[in-house]
Amino acid sequence: MNMQALGINIQAILPETVLIIAALVVMITDLFRGKSEEADHADPIARNLPWLALAGVIVTVASAVWVWQQPSAALFQTAAISDNFAFGARLVILTATGLTVLLSAGYVPQFTTQIGEFYTLLLLCAAAMMAMGSATDLIVIFLALEIFSLGLYILTGLNRENPRSTEASMKYFLLGAFASAFFVYGAALLYGAGGSTNLSAIAETLAAGTGDASLLLPGMALLFVGFGFKIGLAPFHMWTPDVYQGAPTPVSAFMSAGTKMAAFAAFIRVLLTALPSQQETWAWPLAVLAVITMTLGNLTALRQTSMKRMLAYSSIAHAGYILVGIVPGTVAGASAAIFYLFTYAFMNIGAFAVVIALEKVSDGDVEQRQMAGLGNRAPALALMMAVFMFSLSGIPPLAGFFGKFFAFKAAVDGGWMWLTVVAMVNSAISAYYYLRVTVTMYFDQAEKGATDRLPASHMSLNWGLGIAAAAVVVIGLFPSVWTGLLSGLGL
């Protein structure tokens, strides 16, 4: 049988394949673990599972780079495509996965013995997210979406000791199922309007005007609601703070960057490949969504005292900034989204890593006042947190500034001046709650009873923190290296 003739190009799905194999290797290795549950911390296999997973991620990055250097190709009879944009999404998702593994190594054994399951699910989720980034068919998008969502529901509830974790999992599952329903219904209506589930075929039908135009608008609306849920756009964001707070912290960190990248990638493909002719129709609703998302996220974040909830609302606001760049419907906006999420993966997962360093897994939450005096108690940790906070608020010359800069640049280029102004004002508002963290760390006295020195963190957590902080600074100081690489990552 001629594989090429069927459009099956195994090369181009190499990264996903490698990652799934890595996930299976982790799962099988886990089976050889000693049975005694007390010996978990000492068990050599359990201890080295994260490194195995990390090695899988690194090999996948290499394979993704290799695939990227081949000419871009449509796969599986145009159900997916291996292009620059897909590579960008893969890179961001793999970065998030790698950092998450580093964050998890010391954390996961504290609440579960199912270490193998954790990493297997994590890698499978990442593989599905990558598939979503290269999907060009509504059905494939939906399948990928469901696969990684199912994985995330389980990961969220994996900390069974903590009722918050179970509650978060349940909430996430119910609302996620709801969102999936919206998505499927929207996809079905769009099929009616476009006569195909393939994104380019939909675009052709719409351009020719042969489809059922009355289905187009409701189809688009329902599809956007589905994406809005997954990305966490207001007013579909209600699950975000509860899930981020309840989920094991590395999982929250992973979701904040990985899920966003996957959902945004598919969203951008739908907008730019299938619906470019409708840009006039969808631009305004998206602009309004962006304004609501940013403003609501920032204003609510102002009032949070729990670090994880604060980061959850901040991540909602950041989704709004990314959307600002997408509204004009340009390639520049698409590559800006990739660059934004690339920087965001480092700074936000870094911030979650600091939360992990301070967290006692038992109660699973860090109040902001617990960070008081951190500048004295743990200078290096505080310094890195300050870097992440300044970067998240978009102060140059850190990575976060350039992320925002490129997104807003795309918006101004498309003539969306007022939207950019709203975004900048929001960015200034957000500085208040990020700054408050640095105030607590450096200017407030430590609480009575706070230990002078924190217990030493797991070595891999320190590595994760160090890598994230270094990346935030380096990307900020030498943005051209990355923009040069990523500017070719439009559609």
Partner 1 sequence: MLLIGGDGTKKSLALAVSVLTFLVSLALLWQWDSGQAGMQFVEQADWIPEFGAQYFLGVDGISLWLVLLTTFLMPIAIAFSNQHVTDKVGLYLALMLVLESATIGVFLALDLLLFYVFFEFSLIPMYFLIGRWGGKNRIYAAMKFFLYTLAGSALMLVAILTLYFTTGSLNVLELQQASLPYNVQLWSFLAFTLAFAIKVPLFPFHTWLPDAHVQAPTAGSIILAGVLLKMGAYGLIRFSLPIFPDATLDYVPLMSTLAIIGIIYGALVALVQKDVKSLVAYSSVAHMGFIVLGIFALNQRGISGAVLQMVNHGISTGALFLMVGMLYERRHTRLLEDFGGLWKSVPVFCFFFLVVALSSAGLPGLNGFVGEFTILLGTYEASPVFAIVATSGVILAAWYLLTAFRKIAQGELTHPENAKGKLADLTGSEIAMLIPMVALFFLIGLFPNLFLDKINPSVEALVRGDTPAIVLHVDGMQVER
Q: Which residues form the interface with partner 1 (CB under 8 A)?
A: 390, 395-397, 401, 405, 408-409, 412-413, 417, 420-421, 424-425, 427-428, 431-432, 435-436, 439, 442-444, 479-480, 483-484, 487
Closest CB to partner 1 among 171 and 409? Answer: 409
Closest CB to partner 1 among 267 and 340? Answer: 340
Read off the tokens for 155: 């990961």
CB of 65 closer than 8 Å to CB of 215: no
Rounded CA gap, 39 and 28, in Å?
19
- Using alpha carbons, select from 481, 490, 489, 488 the residue that is nearest to residue 402: 481
Closest CB to partner 1 among 25 and 395? Answer: 395
Rounded CA gap, 23 and 245, in Å?
26
CB contact set of 397 (below 8 Å; sequence gap of 6+): 476, 477
| Minimum distance of partner 1 from residue 16's CB (angstroms) | 30
| Minimum distance of partner 1 from residue 55's CB (angstroms) | 34
| Minimum distance of partner 1 from residue 420's CB (angstroms) | 5
| Minimum distance of partner 1 from residue 349's CB (angstroms) | 22
| Minimum distance of partner 1 from residue 487's CB (angstroms) | 5
Closest CB to partner 1 among 260 and 404? Answer: 404
Closest CB to partner 1 among 346 and 442? Answer: 442
Question: Residue 189: helix, strand or coil by DSSP?
Answer: helix
Closest CB to partner 1 among 247 and 351? Answer: 351
CB of 47 closer than 8 Å to CB of 95: no
Q: In this structure, how many other beta carbons lie within 10 angstroms of the beta carbon of residue 112?
A: 17
CB of 168 closer than 8 Å to CB of 156: yes
| Minimum distance of partner 1 from residue 428's CB (angstroms) | 4
Rounded CA gap, 393 and 429, in Å?
9
The label of the residue with tokens 């001046």 reads 417
| Minimum distance of partner 1 from residue 417's CB (angstroms) | 7
The backbone torsions φ and ψ at residue 15, rounded to the nearest 5 degrees and listed phi first, read -55, -50
Closest CB to partner 1 among 42 and 477? Answer: 477
Length of the chain equals 491
Q: Is 336 exposed, middle or buried (0-12, 13-18, 19+ CB in 10 A)?
A: buried
| Minimum distance of partner 1 from residue 319's CB (angstroms) | 19
Rounded CA gap, 267 and 341, in Å?
14
| Minimum distance of partner 1 from residue 425's CB (angstroms) | 6
Closest CB to partner 1 among 363 and 447? Answer: 447
Closest CB to partner 1 among 236 and 402? Answer: 402
* Sequence letter at residue 149: S
Torsion angle, alpha carbons of 337, 343, 345, 347, to 10: -140
* Sequence letter at residue 25: V
